[in-house]
Amino acid sequence: MTKNRRQKKNEQQTCSAMEIIAGFLLLAGFAAQLSALCARPGSELAGPWLGGAALLLLQAGLLKINRPRLRKSLPLIWLGLMLCLLPWLFSGALACANGLIQAWNLAEEDARRLLANPTLTRLSYSVFFTGVLTGLAILIWTGRKRPGWIGLGILIFVLPGLRVRWMSAWALILLLAGLAALWLDWVGAASKGKRWLWLGMIGLLLLPLSGSDPELSEMTQLRKTLAGRLDTLRYGRDSLPQGNLWEAAQLLTGDAPALTVTTQQLKTFYLRGYTGSRYEAGRWLPLQKAAYAGKQEGMLAWLEAENFPVAAQAAAALMLSPEPALEANRMRVENHGANRKYPYLPYSAEAESIAGPVRRWLDAGYRASALRGVQHVEFEEWSSDQPGELLHAPEWIKAPQTETQIRYAQAEAVYRSFVDQCYLDVDPETELLIRKLFLKEPMTSPGIYEAVTRIRDVLEKHVYYTSTPP
C-alpha cells in the first residue's frame, strides 16, 4: 500500500471516529434535555442512551463492511418495533407531555390541566426514551454529512425548553460540542490531530456553562430582550411605563401628540391602555393565568354568552336600566404615537359596537389583534355626566325585573365572586396596613371616586416623589 493511500485510509478512519464521537455527544445532549423536560433522573436515560449509542456503532460497522442494504433497512426495523410497543410508547409520550405542561405552568403562572394517563409505568418511560434516542441515532447518522440540518433539528428540539425557561446546561454543552464535531469533520478542518484539538478547545470553552442554573438565566434574559424588541417593532412605544412604577419618570418625557379623540358628546373620559391587576415588587402585573383555571375555567366565555361583557360592564348595565334611556355617543380614537398594542377605550364603551382589529383580553380590557396593532378604532359609549369607572351599581341589580336583567344580575354575581377572591383577597399583614393607613375613618359614600380621593390624600401625607431619586 502506497503512502498516499495509507494516509487517505487513516483520514477516513479519523473522520468516521469523529462522526461516532459527535453522535455520542448529540445523543447525550438529547438525553439530558429529555431528562430535564420530563422531570426524570438522568440514570433512567442511561440505558436508552446506550441503546442509541449501540445503534450508532452498528450503522458505522455496517458502513465499514459495506452492507448498504441492511443499513438502509434499519429505519424500517425500528418503525416496526415501535409499532409493536405503541401502547407503552404512547403512555411515555403522554407522561413527558405532562412534564412539559408542568414546566409551562411554573414558568407562566398558569394552571393547564395534565393529560390523563392511567396506564403509566416505569416501562412506559423506558420504551419512550429508548424509542426516541434510537430514532435520533438513525437520524443523526443519516444526516451526519449535513450539519446545517442537524443544527436546525437541535434548535427545534430545544425550543420547548427555552419557551418554558427550563433548559439543561449540560444538554446545551453536549449538543453544541456534538454539532461542532460534525462541522469540523464536514469542512475537513486542518489535519486529523488538529480536529481533535479543536474539539477539545471548544469543549473547554463550553464547560463554564455547566455552572449555570437549570433555567439558564442568560438565555431567559435574551429571550425577554428579543420579545421586547419584537413587541416594540410591532406596536411602537410611548412614554407610559406599562405598570412599572420604577420607570414612572417616563411620564414626564415627550410632548408629541399621541391620540386624537373624536366624540359627539363633550364629557370626561378615561381611556385605558395597559391595565394591571396585582401589585408585585413595584409593578402592576396582569392576574396570574392560573386564576382563570380550575373551578373558574370557562367562566369568561360563559359570562360573554350571558351578555355580560366583563370589560364593558358600564355600558351593558346602563343599557338595561329602566331609567330614561341615554343616547349613544359615537367616538373614534386614532393612534399617532402611543403603543399600538392597546385600543385605548373608555370603560363605558359598548362591546358589540367596537369596530377595529381588537380582541378581548381576559377580564383586563382589550388588546390589538392585528400584526401592527391598532391604528384607529370606532365605538359607541354609554355614560351620563360621569365616566364609567365612577358609576354606582344601578338599583335594578338588587331587584331585577326583566329576563335580561335577571341574567345580567346572575352573571354579575358570578363575576363579583371571582373579583372578591382574586382581586380583593390580600394577606393579613397587607390588610392590616391598608386598614391602618386608609380606613382609620369610615367612608361616607363608598365608591371609586371617594376611594381614589382617600388614597391620594394619604399618599400626599406619607409619600413624596422625585424623578431623580437619591
Phi and psi (nearest 5°) for 462?
-115, -15
Residue 118 is classified by DSSP as T
Q: Is residue 293 part of a domain?
A: yes
In the chain, the largest separation of any two C-alpha atoms, in whole Å, equals: 107
User: Cell numbers at residue 454, please?
Assistant: 382617600
Q: Is residue 242 part of a domain?
A: no
| Residues 218 and 286 grouped into a single domain | no
CA-angle at 144, arms to 141 and 150, nearest 5°:
105
More confident of the two residues 204 and 95: 95
Identify the H or E element spanning 285. strand 283-285
**3-state SS assignment for residue 396:** helix
Least confident of 36-50, 194-208, 318-332: 194-208
Q: Is residue 453 part of a domain?
A: yes
The string of pLDDT tens digits covering residues 377-413 is: 999 998 877 777 777 777 788 888 888 888 988 999 9
| Residues 25 and 141 grouped into a single domain | yes
| Residues 217 and 356 grouped into a single domain | no
CA-angle at 78, arms to 76 and 80, nearest 5°:
70
Question: What is the chain's alpha carbon radius of gyration, rounded to the nearest angstrom?
Answer: 31
Residue type at 175? L
Q: Is residue 240 part of a domain?
A: no
Identify the H or E element spanning 192. helix 192-206
Q: How many domains does one find in the chain?
A: 3
Which of 16-20, 89-93, 429-433 is most confident? 89-93
Q: What range defines the domain where residue 458 resides? A: 426-469
Q: Is residue 3 part of a domain?
A: no
The pLDDT of residue 11 is: 44
At 217, the pLDDT band (50, 70, 90 cuts) reads low
| Residues 357 and 419 grouped into a single domain | yes
At 334, the pLDDT band (50, 70, 90 cuts) reads very high
The pLDDT of residue 189 is: 55
Q: Is residue 234 part of a domain?
A: no
The pLDDT of residue 333 is: 94
| Residues 409 and 431 grouped into a single domain | no
| Residues 174 and 212 grouped into a single domain | yes
**3-state SS assignment for residue 360:** strand
Q: Is residue 244 part of a domain?
A: no
Residue 434 has pLDDT above 80, yes or no: yes
63 and 12 in contact (C-beta within 8 Å)? no
421 and 329 in contact (C-beta within 8 Å)? no
Alpha-carbon distance of 329 to 385, in angstroms, equals 12
Alpha-carbon distance of 157 to 134, in angstroms, equals 15
Q: Is residue 326 part of a domain?
A: yes
CA atoms within 13 A on the CB side of 448: 8
pTM exceeds 0.85, yes or no = no
The pLDDT of residue 468 is: 66
CA torsion angle 258 260 261 266 (round to 10): 100
| Residues 343 and 438 grouped into a single domain | no
423, 439, 456: which is the final residue of a domain? 423
Residue 313 has pLDDT above 90, yes or no: no
| Residues 73 and 54 grouped into a single domain | yes
Burial of 142 (0-12, 13-18, 19+ CB in 10 A): middle
- Alpha helix positions (H), 38-121: 46-64, 68-84, 86-108
CA dihedral sign, ordered 409, 363, 455, 350: negative
More confident of the two residues 48 and 111: 48
At 202, the pLDDT band (50, 70, 90 cuts) reads low
Q: Which residues pair with 432 in a beta bridge?
A: none
| Residues 376 and 387 grouped into a single domain | yes
| Residues 79 and 97 grouped into a single domain | yes
| Residues 453 and 356 grouped into a single domain | no
| Residues 172 and 103 grouped into a single domain | yes
Neighbour tally for 303: CB within 10 Å? 19
